[in-house]
Structure 1
């Protein structure tokens, strides 16, 4: 006879298999994350040092020094890895029953949602009976998600992408792509002939924050034709 205990562990939850969101250990971890969220959001901008301590305890140990603006909801935290210099604006929601990865220097606009959780679609009795599963989300380096972007489980967004405000990303987006809409679709690739750096005053540094990695400069000319 199958016991429910076999389907309610954190290991079962993060594996991508069907599981049930019960069990004492999962409840303990979820409650701890909820307490981090509560304190972090209550603090707002009043105590940056304590806020940074909460973020470090809340996220995966592999995370780097990043910025998250309150309010923020991260369901578990241990499953979310945010790399160095990433910037997460107000109102983010991350349901991380499966791993979520956000690359270095990437930016999420206000009210973005990263939702790894899934439920049965055709089998309504299984869905109403409490079963769910999760699929990972990966966002690459130097990528920008505009405000109110939703990314669903199982999606990978590449490096140097731009996702337009309000988009719902249901399929993978390759590197260097600009995508918009619901569902999001790629409308073009990055184009060096459109670089906004031509609008800067002469001598203005591209790396205003001093956070870009060392490496060869990009060549001039378009990345690709439209």
Structure 2
């Protein structure tokens, strides 16, 4: 009984420790780090002077946030970034407010050069509108704009723009349903 109680409390303890680290360390290192935002046990953080995080953003364990020298990342207020999410900005990545990015999602505005695999190049900026939901293990590639209130299905590979209010899924992602109330 005691062991179960302790094990169930560990994630809460990690969150509390992350709150302290976020307020004292991350708040000074990022371009902007909003009030009430927390990053819990990241895998990698890079280019922090080019990453802006709004208020009340939650970034969970294993996240990889990296902005290359020509790129930037902007994450809006009340955004949720799940476990093991990889956001890589070679170009610019803008994530508006109230976005839900579930576990194991990749958002990347870059690719490796076909001749020199050590070189990376931009594939275009990425923009996620307000109130977007990104399902588990989805991949969003460069040059894509996702409209407000869109839903990206689990495992989808988004290679083209997604209209506001649309639900997309598949590889490559295609519109499954659209909403005129977006």
TM-score by length of 1: 0.58
User: Structure 1 residues 69, 127: closer, same or farther in 2, change over 3 A?
Assistant: same
**Which structure has the larger Rg?**
1
**Counterpart residue number, 1:151:** 140
Cα offset, 1:44, TM superposition: 4.5
Q: Secondary structure at the match of 1:105?
A: coil
Contact 1:44 1:70 in 2 (8 A): no
CA RMSD of aligned residues (A): 2.4
Structure 2 counterparts to residues 1-226 of structure 1, below 5 A: 44-47=14-17, 48-57=19-28, 59-61=30-32, 62-65=52-55, 66-76=57-67, 79-120=72-113, 124=114, 126-128=115-117, 130-134=118-122, 135-190=124-179, 223=181
Cα offset, 1:58, TM superposition: 5.5
User: Structure 1 residues 133, 155: closer, same or farther in 2, change over 3 A?
Assistant: same
d(CA) in 1 for partners of 2:73 and 2:94? 6
Question: Quick check: 181-190 or 45-54, which moved more?
Answer: 45-54
Q: Secondary structure at the match of 1:75?
A: strand
Q: Secondary structure at the match of 1:127?
A: coil
Higher strand proportion:
2
d(CA) in 1 for partners of 2:112 and 2:77? 32
Structure 1 gaps, min length 5: 1-42, 192-222
Cα offset, 1:51, TM superposition: 3.0
Cα offset, 1:153, TM superposition: 0.9
User: Structure 1 residues 131, 63: closer, same or farther in 2, change over 3 A?
Assistant: same
Structure 2 gaps, min length 5: 1-12, 33-51
Q: Secondary structure at the match of 1:51?
A: helix
User: Structure 1 residues 172, 140: closer, same or farther in 2, change over 3 A?
Assistant: same
d(CA) in 1 for partners of 2:169 and 2:63? 24
Q: Secondary structure at the match of 1:173?
A: coil
